[in-house]
């Protein structure tokens, strides 16, 4: 019995001396404080970083761009505070399995995971920061494959209408341009335009009249819109006040109790239209989250059109503050392929 007690005390002393051992009674916020302090020691801790939620997995917020979060995770791994990074997209880390642990009743160790989130930013700044992250990831790829002296990636689009990321050679000549979207989820818009409404002639195109692809989209959706969305009373548009929005819903969907902004109708359109829209802008490729697709038939990567399950227009009443508008947004759902994964796609574009 004395030997058992001695061994138990020795075991507990060893745990107490282990810097990664966590008392089982610690709450999530207390564990987060320990991890935040460790980040401060081995990396750069943002001044506004704070605990968000979780106990077995600790969620921390206000850690900035994916590139900045990736660097912190790499610092944790280098300092042996974390054992494994978990890629979010573009091969960059936003979370990790740390070496902090609690002992289970079975005697096994339960290791704590940490997830670094970006924090509150505007939609436009999210887009801009993601473009910068893509450019940084590309330049890291060029460095890894001895192409840094030949090519450089630069975030060029911002929240405007230019190419989001450009690849230029050592003389500054443009070689490729990439359209960039943070994801390929169902709420991502691939171009949009506004409509007006005439009770007699039906729906008309109010913006994008000089864009051949937008004109083609409108010609596809007009017959369905005229048949399915024909309120007896609605503002002419394309822009109107909350009074006009209420008038539309009272006629189209009486007794509606939800927000004045909202989805009205979904109309399938040809799959080639998303690809045509961006190819017309002069882009060579499009990045959707962690995937890259070709916008031309160059056979380097699968073309965007072939990766689509479906393409459709979402017609909606959109709030712009303080007014509303009739807006048609081009959207799609996509097939996942290993071939279009960011790192694999870069190898096909630049190494073959």
pLDDT at 160 over 70: no
Write down the pLDDT at residue 338.
82
Residues in CB range of 194: below 8 A, 6 or more apart = 206, 207, 237, 238, 239, 325, 326, 327, 328
Whether the upstream peptide bond of residue 9 has omega within 30° of 0, thus cis, is no
The tally of domains found in the chain comes to 3
Task: Verify that 103 and 252 share a domain, yes or no.
Answer: no
H-run or E-run covering 83? strand 82-89
Mean pLDDT of the 156-170 span: 73
Write down the pLDDT at residue 164.
86
- The CATH code of the domain that includes 56 is 3.30.460
Q: Is residue 187 part of a domain?
A: no
Instruction: Report CA torsion sign: 181, 143, 284, 269.
Output: negative
Task: Verify that 316 and 338 share a domain, yes or no.
Answer: yes
Q: Is residue 186 part of a domain?
A: no
Q: Is residue 76 part of a domain?
A: yes
Write down the pLDDT at residue 114.
96
Task: Verify that 294 and 199 share a domain, yes or no.
Answer: yes
Task: Verify that 246 and 338 share a domain, yes or no.
Answer: yes
Q: Is residue 264 part of a domain?
A: yes
Which domain does 151 fall in, by range? 123-181
> Could you report how far apart the first and last alpha carbons of the chain are, in Å?
69
Q: Which long-range contacts (CB under 8 A, 24 or more apart) does 76-80 make?
A: 76/38, 76/39, 76/42, 76/43, 76/114, 78/42, 79/41, 79/42, 79/43
pLDDT at 3 over 80: no
Task: Verify that 8 and 63 share a domain, yes or no.
Answer: yes
Of 116, 142, 171, which residue is a domain's last? Answer: 116
Task: Verify that 257 and 153 share a domain, yes or no.
Answer: no
Question: Tens digit of pLDDT for each residue in 244-254?
Answer: 999 999 999 99
Task: Verify that 200 and 346 share a domain, yes or no.
Answer: yes
Task: Verify that 13 and 106 share a domain, yes or no.
Answer: yes
Of 84, 116, 148, which residue is a domain's last? Answer: 116
Task: Verify that 37 and 153 share a domain, yes or no.
Answer: no
Burial of 345 (0-12, 13-18, 19+ CB in 10 A): buried
Task: Verify that 151 and 51 share a domain, yes or no.
Answer: no
Q: Is residue 34 part of a domain?
A: yes
Question: Tens digit of pLDDT for each residue in 19-54?
Answer: 899 999 999 999 999 999 999 999 999 988 999 999
Write down the pLDDT at residue 16.
52
Write down the pLDDT at residue 124.
43
Question: Tens digit of pLDDT for each residue in 283-321?
Answer: 899 999 889 999 987 778 989 988 899 999 999 999 998
Of 116, 146, 162, which residue is a domain's last? Answer: 116
Distance separating alpha carbons of residues 301 and 345, to the nearest angstrom = 7
Write down the pLDDT at residue 211.
93
Task: Verify that 152 and 72 share a domain, yes or no.
Answer: no
The residues that bridge with 61 in the sheet, in sequence order, are 50
Helix (H, G, I), strand (E, B) or coil at 92: strand
Task: Verify that 160 and 258 share a domain, yes or no.
Answer: no
């Amino acid at each position: 019995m004395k030997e058992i007690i001695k061994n138990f005390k020795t075991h507990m002393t060893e745990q107490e001396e282990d810097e990664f051992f966590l008392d089982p009674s610690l709450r999530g916020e207390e564990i987060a404080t320990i991890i935040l302090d460790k980040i401060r020691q081995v990396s750069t801790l943002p001044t506004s970083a704070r605990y968000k939620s979780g106990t077995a997995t600790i969620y921390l917020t206000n850690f900035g761009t994916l590139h900045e979060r990736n660097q912190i995770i790499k610092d944790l791994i280098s300092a042996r505070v974390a054992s494994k990074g978990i890629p979010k997209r573009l091969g960059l880390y936003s979370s990790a399995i740390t070496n902090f642990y609690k002992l289970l009743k079975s005697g096994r160790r339960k290791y704590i995971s940490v997830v670094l989130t970006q924090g509150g930013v505007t939609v436009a700044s999210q887009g801009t920061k993601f473009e910068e992250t893509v450019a940084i990831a590309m330049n890291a790829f060029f460095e890894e494959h001895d192409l840094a002296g030949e090519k450089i990636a630069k975030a060029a689009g911002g929240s405007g209408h230019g190419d989001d990321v450009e690849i230029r050679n050592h003389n500054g000549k443009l070689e490729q341009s990439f359209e960039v979207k943070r994801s390929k989820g169902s709420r991502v818009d691939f171009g949009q335009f506004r409509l007006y409404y005439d009770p007699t002639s039906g729906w008309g195109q109010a913006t994008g009249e000089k864009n051949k692809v937008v004109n083609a989209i409108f010609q596809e959706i007009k017959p369905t819109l005229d048949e399915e969305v024909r309120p007896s009373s609605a503002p002419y548009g394309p822009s109107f006040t909350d009074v006009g929005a209420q008038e539309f819903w009272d006629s189209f969907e009486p007794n509606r109790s939800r927000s004045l902004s909202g989805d009205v109708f979904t109309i399938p359109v040809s799959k080639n239209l998303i690809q045509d829209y961006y190819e017309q802008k002069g882009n060579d490729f499009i990045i959707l989250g962690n995937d890259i697709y070709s916008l031309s038939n160059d056979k380097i990567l699968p073309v965007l059109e072939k990766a689509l399950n479906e393409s459709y227009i979402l017609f909606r009443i959109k709030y712009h503050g303080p007014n509303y508008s009739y807006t048609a947004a081009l959207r799609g759902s996509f097939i996942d392929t290993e071939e279009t994964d960011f790192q694999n796609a870069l190898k096909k574009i630049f190494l073959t």
